[in-house]
Amino acid sequence: MTKEELRRKVQLELSRRRQRAITLAEDNKAIAYHKIPRLLVLDNLSIDIGIQLARLGAAGGHLEEREEQKRLLDEVAKERRALLVEANFAPDFLEPRYTCPNCKDVGRTPQGICSCVTLLTQKLRRDEINARFPLSMCSFENFSLLHYKEEIDPAFGISAREQMTEVLERCKRYAAEFRKSSPNLYLFGETGIGKTHLALSIASEVLKKQFNVVYVSSQNIFFAMQQDRAEAANIIETLLAADLLILDDLGTELVNAYVISTLYNIVDTRMGRKRPTIYTTNIIDEALLTARYTEKISSRLLGSCEMYRLLGDDIRLQS
């Protein structure tokens, strides 16, 4: 979505939040007024006193008169609170309960744009990105080790089944123990052997813990950013802000100067912010990684990640 479309969505969501809070407060008032008729009298009295205070202020009324009206308003408020508590209502039962108490869901404070607008913008952008990928289709439970051979692979001295059992357990432990300071992961191996499935399984578990997770395909995200450079900055900031970023299929994108500089920005900035990233790739040779992305990027990738080597044959070709 464009920046303007995103802005409108943010405003629409803020309006919905505010209206929801006001509607709930009105419903609560109806309940409380029915149970405590005196509350309606007090609320009407508060309105009358407020109007009188405004008139005195506009007319430059005497300070003593204004102070008297304020005293009356305080007495009304005290009686109101006492009646609510006596009837087992919370003291703020009649007040709108806004999602953001700082700006009351209007998006602005006297200091400027409220921080809730930034958070909501990032959430909507994150939801847009994550909606493209079927997180619910991948889990540790449906990751089958039966796809991997039990015969020893002479090149590695271990069977694919044994290796993948260890990798699966490490991924489960990573998801179970995830925190914002978790290490980066680098899942690498041949095509179609479960890298994306494991990455999405981690994402599913981490999302359950209410962390901000963004999953993107390297090919798709770099293409999208090059197609709409005006939106690229917003997309990049969403990637940088994620508690966990999963950059899938690194190596499938069309490499050019823009991709190299943008990837370096993502890798380097997230390292600086100590935000964990999971990379998956079919590139299994360090020299090829360096040749494709430069030594500066490959050294940061390999030097900052726990390396998980996946073994096996392409699952998609198995009958």
Q: Give the model confidence (pLDDT) of 182-213 as tens digits.
A: 999 999 999 989 999 999 899 888 888 878 88
| Residue pLDDT, tens place only, 281-298 | 999 999 999 999 999 999
pLDDT reported for residue 234: 82
pLDDT reported for residue 56: 74
More confident residue, 134 or 123: 123
Name the DSSP class of 316.
G
Per-residue pLDDT band at 19 (split at 50, 70, 90) = very high
Alpha helices in the chain (DSSP H): 3-35, 37-59, 63-86, 115-130, 160-176, 195-208, 218-227, 229-241, 257-273, 286-293, 295-304
pTM over 0.95: no
Residue 21 near residue 96, CB atoms below 8 Å: yes
**H or E element: which one contains 188?**
strand 184-188
Cα 73–Cα 68–Cα 96 angle in degrees, nearest 5:
15
| Residue pLDDT, tens place only, 267-278 | 999 999 999 999
d(CA 166, CA 77): 64
Per-residue pLDDT band at 1 (split at 50, 70, 90) = low
pLDDT reported for residue 264: 95
d(CA 77, CA 134): 52
| Residue pLDDT, tens place only, 174-185 | 999 999 999 999
Type of residue found at 118: T
